[in-house]
Amino acid sequence: MIRLDVRQVPSLRMSVLSPIIALAVTVAAGGVLFLALGKDPVRVLSMFLVEPFNGVRALTELGLKCTPLILCALGLGLCFRSNVWNIGAEGQFLMGAIAGGGLALWVTNASAALSPWVFFPLVVVAGAAGGAAWAAIVALLRDRFNANEILVSLMLVYVADLFLSWLVFGPWKDPLGFNFPQTVQFAAATEIPRFVRGMRLHWGFAFALVAAVLMWLFMFRTHRGIQLQIGGPAPAAARYAGFSSRAAIWTTLLISGALAGIAGAFEVTGPMGQLTPHVASGYGFTAIIVAFVGRLHPLGAVLGSVVLSAFVIGGQLAQSRVGLPASVSGVFQGMLLLALLGCDTLIHHRPRLARWTWRAAP
Amino acid sequence: MSAPRLELRHITKRYGDVVANDDVGLAVAPGEIHAILGENGAGKSTLMKVVYGAVAPDAGELLWDGAPAAIQSPHDARALGIAMVFQHFSLFDSLTVAENVWLGLSRTVSLREVVEGIRGKAAEYGLDLDPDRPVHVLSVGERQRVEIVRALLANPRLLILDEPTAVLTPQAAEKLFETLRKLAATGCSILYISHKLHEILALCHQCTVLRGGRVVASCDPTRESTASLSRMMIGAEPPRLERRPANVGPLALSARGLALPGHDRFGVALEDVSLDVHAGEIVGIAGVSGNGQQELLAALSGEDPRADAGAIQLFGQPIGRMGAAARRKRGLHFVPEERLGRGAVPSLSLANNMLLTRHEALRAFGWIDRAALRHQASGVLRRYWVKASGPAAAARSLSGGNLQKYIVGRELDAVPKVLVVAQPTWGVDVGAAAQIRAELVALRDAGCAVLVVSEELEELFALADRLHVIAKGRLSPSIGSAEASVEQIGEWMSGLWTGGPGQAAALAGGAR
C-alpha cells in the first residue's frame, strides 16, 4: 500500500516547476496514447506542440484562441481564490456575446457611420454589462438565499444558450438568410480592429493582456484584492478583520462575469461577425482548466491559455490531417489537468511504501 | 534498576545553519514524569518530533527499553506505544469528537465502541467531554481534551504532552495532574513540555532544561524553586511586573444586559451579561474554556454583530450591530485566541497580515504602499522581539509564541483606545510573556481600557485591577483582584456566586 505523508516544507522550486513537469508527463502519456491509436506519435505531438507556434499566421491564430481564455480565466482565478465557485463563465460569455452582438446588430440596422475605434469601447461596455448582469443573478441568489453558486452558475449556462437560440431562431433572425438560424453579418464598422490586415488576430488580445496586468495589480497591490483572497483560505480571519463576505461574493462575481462577457462580445464582433446558435464553444469551461494550470494567478492565466489554446488547435489539426477523433483533444486536456493535480499532491505529500497492516493503530 | 523506557544519546538536528538540537541526551524511567523545560525556540518541539518519528535526527541514537530503536515515522512510534498530544491540534472541524478519534483507530473498531471508549476514559480521568459534539463548536481547551483522550485511548507506554495545561482552570489542571500521576503509577512514562515552572515543581520527578538547543541542566525539580528553574531556562530571572494603582478614567466599553442565543445547539448562549471597562484600567475575565468566552469576545469584537445595538456601548455610542472594521475605526482593537486562521492568515506574509487590522500603509483607492507596509511590519517585529526571517515570512512559518507576539504587537502598535485580548500569553515563553504583560500595563497607564479574557488565573491576578468570572454564559459581578482569592475565583468558575448559574442550580436542588 502507498501512503501519503505530508511534507513539512513544500519545495518552492517544485511548485514553480510543477506545471512544466505535468506538461512533460502529459506529452509522454499522450505519445503512448497516439501510438496505441496507430498514429505516428512524433507527428501528432508536433501538431499539438510545434505547429501552433510555427510561423506568424499560426501564432496569430493562437493569440486569437487565447483572448477569450485569458479573459475568462482571469475572472475565474479571482473567484476561486475567494472561494466563490463560479463554474458558469460560459453562460456569462454567452450573455456578453448577446449584448455585444445585439449592439452590433443595432448599429448595422441603423447603418450608423461609426469608426471601429469608437465602437470598440462601446462593445466592451456592452459585453461587460451582459456578462456582469448574468453573474449578478448568481450573486443575488447566493447572497439572499444562500443558493449554491456552483449549481446556479452552471444551470444559467443552459439558460443563456437557449436564450441565444431563441433570439437567432426568432426575433434576430436574418430575414434574407434562407431561414438559417443566424443574424445578418454585422457591418464593417462593428468589427474589432485587427492588428494586421488579413490576419484574424484583433486588438481584443491586447485588451486581454492589459486586463491580466491590471488584475495582477488589483489582486496583489490593493487592499480590496488582498481582502478578497482572505475570505477563501481564512474565513475567520476575514470576519476578524471585518471584511465583508457579501462584498466578496458580489465583487468577484461581477468582475468575472464582466470579463467573460467581454470575451463573448469580442468573439462575435471579432472572428464570427454574426450571432449563430454555435457561439458557445466551451471557452468558459476550458478557462477553468486554464485558471488552475496558471495557479489562479493572472499572469499564469496568460501562460495557461497558451498551452490550452495550442491543445485546441492541435486537436483540430490532428482531426483534419490524420483523422484522430475530436475527443482526443479533450482527453489530452484532461490528462494535463490530471498530471497537474498529481504533481500538486506530490509537492505537498511524500509517497511512501508502507507495510500492509490489518490494524492501523493499536 | 531496570533499563530506562526511553533514552536519547547525542541527538543532533540541524535546519540549515540553525542547530535545533545539539548533542542532547536524556533518560526517562518507566513511570517517570519527566519535564522538558525551555523557552520558545530552545529545541523542545524538535526533540519531541525526533522521539515521535516526525523528524529524523542528523546524529545520535534512541534506545527503547534499553535496546536501540529506529523510529522513522509516527507510525513506528505508535507501534512502540508512544502517544503525543500536540500543541497544534489535528482535528477535522466538520466531524464529531468521536469521529475524529475514530479516524486514527483501526477499522475493526466500531464508532459506538469509540463513543463508549471516550466516555470511559473521560470519566476515568475526569475530563468533561461529549463525544457527539462536532469539533468546530469546541473551544481550544475542549479541543485539547479531545487530543488527550485520543492519546489515552491508545493505552500508551510513553505519553508526550506539549503544554497541556495552557487552557485549564487551576482545578482542572490539578485534575489533569491527578490523571497524569495515576497514569504514571501504572508504569506509563510521561514527557511533559512546559514553561510553567510551578507545574513542573508540583508534578514532575525529573527535569531536563534546554537552552539554545543544548541541555543546560538536568535536575530533580522537587529540590528546585521557580527562581532557580527560571535562571536555568533563560539565564536570568524574569523581570517582575511593575504596576502602579490604576488611574481610572471615564467609561470606555460597556455591556448592558447582553443576551445572545447560541449559534447552534452546542453553542453557549450569553445571558444578561453586564460589564464596564473604564479608561486606564485592566478588567480580567476568568473561566473554564467553553463557558461563553468565545461568544462574548465575538460579540464585543464585532465578529458577531447580532447583539441589540444598545447592549454594547463604546464611549456611550451603541455599537452592538457594527461589524469589526467599524468598531476598530472607533478605537476598539481585539486580539483573538486563535492566531493562525483568525488573528493571521497562514499563507500571507507578515507584512500583508498587517492589513487585517492596520490601514496606515494604504493610499488612495486602497493602493498598498509596499515600502511603508514592510517598514510598519519590520517595526512590529523589532519592537516585540518576534523571531522571523523578515516581513516577507509567511505567518504559518512562525512558531505559535512568535506569532502571538506579532499579533499582540500589531494591535498594541495601533495605540488602541480599547483593547480586548484573549489569552495574551498562551504558548509564549516566560520572557516574552513578562514583556507582553508589561506592555499591557503600560497601555493601561497610558489611558487605554483593557479587557483580558484568560484561562490562566495567575496571569489575571498579576494583570487585572478587577476580575469577573464567566460560567455557563453568565458573568459574575466584578471583584477587585486585590480582594479576590484563587479559591473564591475557582468556586465562581463553577457558577457559584450569588445569583450565578451554579448557585441557582444548587438552590433548585439540582446536582452539580
Total count of domains within chain B:
3
Instruction: Kindly determine whether residue B370 and residue A221, on different chains, have CB atoms separated by under 8 Å.
Output: yes
Residues of chain B with pLDDT under 70: 1, 16-18, 40-41, 87-88, 140-141, 166-172, 236-243, 264-266, 503-512
Instruction: Kindly determine whether residue A234 and residue B325, on different chains, have CB atoms separated by under 8 Å.
Output: no
Instruction: Kindly determine whether residue A236 and residue B326, on different chains, have CB atoms separated by under 8 Å.
Output: no
Look at residue B85 in the predicted model and tell me its pLDDT. 85
Task: Give the number of C-alpha atoms closer than 13 A to the C-alpha of residue A258, restricted to the C-beta side.
Answer: 12
Å between B108 CA and nearest CA of chain A: 8
**Do B96 and B215 share a domain, yes or no?**
yes
Q: What is the CATH number of the domain that holds B54?
A: 3.40.50.300
| Residue B466 domain-assigned (yes or no) | yes
**Do B196 and B88 share a domain, yes or no?**
yes
From A226, A352, A358, residue closest to B352, measured CB to CB: A226
Chain A residues within an 8 Å CB radius of B106: 358-362
Cell numbers found for residue A313: 488547435
The region of weakest confidence among A21-35, A94-108, A163-177, B93-107 is: B93-107
**Do B327 and B354 share a domain, yes or no?**
no
Å between B495 CA and nearest CA of chain A: 29
Are residues B345 and A230 in contact, defined by beta-carbon separation less than 8 angstroms? yes
Percentage of residues in chain A with pLDDT exceeding 70? Answer: 94
| Residue B337 domain-assigned (yes or no) | no
- For residues A300-321, give the mean pLDDT: 90
Question: CA-CA-CA-CA torsion for B445, B446, B449, B452, nearest 10 degrees?
Answer: -60
pLDDT tens across A5-28, in order?
666 566 677 777 777 888 888 889
| Residue B242 domain-assigned (yes or no) | no
Mutation to test the B interface, candidates A240, A355, A356, most B Cβ within 10 Å: A240
Chain A residues within an 8 Å CB radius of B104: 360-361
Handedness of CA B357, B163, B475, B293 (dihedral sign): positive
Q: B219 touching A, CB under 8 A?
A: no
pLDDT tens across B411-447, in order?
999 999 999 999 888 777 777 788 888 899 999 999 9
Å between A203 CA and nearest CA of chain B: 28
Instruction: Kindly determine whether residue A230 and residue B301, on different chains, have CB atoms separated by under 8 Å.
Output: no
Please give the helix or strand (H or E) that residue A161 lies within, else none: helix A149-169
**Do B124 and B182 share a domain, yes or no?**
yes
- List the single residue in B with minimal CA-CA distance to A352: B73
Phi-psi category of residue B134: left, alpha or beta, with phi > 0 → left and psi -120 to 50 → alpha = beta
| Residue B292 domain-assigned (yes or no) | yes
**What is the side-by-side order of every strand in the sheet holding B59-64?**
B18-28, B6-15, B59-64, B67-68
- Residue B243: how many CB atoms within 10 A of its CB? 16
Q: Provide the ipTM.
A: 0.77
From A227, A234, A358, residue closest to B341, measured CB to CB: A234
Are residues A7 and A350 in contact, defined by beta-carbon separation less than 8 angstroms? yes
Cell numbers found for residue B143: 479541543
Q: Is B111 exposed, middle or buried (0-12, 13-18, 19+ CB in 10 A)?
A: middle
Tell me how far CA of residue A289 lies from CA of A77, A296, A338, in angstroms: 10, 10, 10
Look at residue B511 in the predicted model and tell me its pLDDT. 38
Surface of B (427-456) touching A: CB under 8 A: none
Q: B81 touching A, CB under 8 A?
A: yes
From B106, B154, B326, residue closest to A242, measured CB to CB: B326
Q: Is B389 exposed, middle or buried (0-12, 13-18, 19+ CB in 10 A)?
A: exposed
What does the alpha-carbon distance between residue A257 and residue A27 come to, in Å, rounded to a whole number? 33
**Do B209 and B148 share a domain, yes or no?**
yes
Please give the helix or strand (H or E) that residue B469 lies within, else none: strand B466-471
Å between A226 CA and nearest CA of chain B: 8
What does the alpha-carbon distance between residue B415 and residue B405 come to, in Å, rounded to a whole number? 16
Beta bridge partners of B254: B276, B313
| DSSP per-residue string spanning B421-467 | EESTTTT--HHHHHHHHHHHHHHHHTT-EEEEE-S-HHHHHHH-SEE
Residue with cell 464582433: A269
**Do B379 and B312 share a domain, yes or no?**
no
Q: B160 touching A, CB under 8 A?
A: no
**Do B258 and B360 share a domain, yes or no?**
no
pLDDT tens across A53-93, in order?
988 989 999 999 999 999 999 999 999 999 899 999 999 99
Q: A216 touching B, CB under 8 A?
A: no
| Residue B239 domain-assigned (yes or no) | no
Class of domain A65-308: mainly alpha
Of A181 and A15, the one with more pLDDT: A181
Is A275's pLDDT higher than 60? yes
Instruction: Kindly determine whether residue A241 and residue B325, on different chains, have CB atoms separated by under 8 Å.
Output: yes
Tell me how far CA of residue A299 lies from CA of A23, A306, B257, in angstroms: 18, 11, 53
Look at residue B16 in the predicted model and tell me its pLDDT. 67
What does the alpha-carbon distance between residue A153 and residue A143 come to, in Å, rounded to a whole number? 13
**Do B30 and B59 share a domain, yes or no?**
yes
Question: What integer best gives the mean pLDDT of chain A?
Answer: 88
User: In chain A, what are the domain boundaries?
Assistant: 11-39+324-351, 65-308
- List the single residue in A with minimal CA-CA distance to B362: A223
Of A187 and A347, the one with more pLDDT: A187
**Do B70 and B187 share a domain, yes or no?**
yes
- Residue B472: how many CB atoms within 10 A of its CB? 20
Last residue of a domain, one of B410, B433, B456: B410
Are residues A334 and A73 in contact, defined by beta-carbon separation less than 8 angstroms? no
**Do B217 and B273 share a domain, yes or no?**
no
Q: What number of C-beta contacts closer than 8 Å exist between A and B?
A: 87
| Residue B501 domain-assigned (yes or no) | yes
- List the single residue in A with minimal CA-CA distance to B155: A362
- List the single residue in B with minimal CA-CA distance to A244: B323
pLDDT tens across A213-249, in order?
999 999 999 999 999 988 877 889 999 999 988 889 9
Tell me how far CA of residue A128 lies from CA of A7, A72, A85, in angstroms: 43, 12, 19
| DSSP annotation of B349 | B
Cell numbers found for residue A181: 438560424
Instruction: Kindly determine whether residue B106 and residue A243, on different chains, have CB atoms separated by under 8 Å.
Output: no
Instruction: Kindly determine whether residue B336 and residue A240, on different chains, have CB atoms separated by under 8 Å.
Output: yes
Look at residue A316 in the predicted model and tell me its pLDDT. 87
Instruction: Kindly determine whether residue A223 and residue B362, on different chains, have CB atoms separated by under 8 Å.
Output: yes
Last residue of a domain, one of B367, B386, B410: B410
Please give the helix or strand (H or E) that residue B343 lies within, else none: none
- Residue B25: how many CB atoms within 10 A of its CB? 14
Q: Is A23 exposed, middle or buried (0-12, 13-18, 19+ CB in 10 A)?
A: middle
Last residue of a domain, one of B394, B410, B426: B410
**Do B270 and B397 share a domain, yes or no?**
no
Residue B261: domain span:
251-331+416-507
Å between B303 CA and nearest CA of chain A: 6
**Do B171 and B319 share a domain, yes or no?**
no
Look at residue B247 in the predicted model and tell me its pLDDT. 84
What does the alpha-carbon distance between residue A151 and residue A132 come to, in Å, rounded to a whole number? 17
Are residues B416 and B330 in contact, defined by beta-carbon separation less than 8 angstroms? no
User: Measuring CA to CA, which residue among B457, B411, B414, B418 is closest to residue B436?
Assistant: B411
Task: Give the number of C-alpha atoms closer than 13 A to the C-alpha of residue B392, restricted to the C-beta side.
Answer: 2
| Residue B338 domain-assigned (yes or no) | no
What does the alpha-carbon distance between residue B75 and residue B62 come to, in Å, rounded to a whole number? 16
Instruction: Kindly determine whether residue A5 and residue B78, on different chains, have CB atoms separated by under 8 Å.
Output: no
| Residue B173 domain-assigned (yes or no) | yes
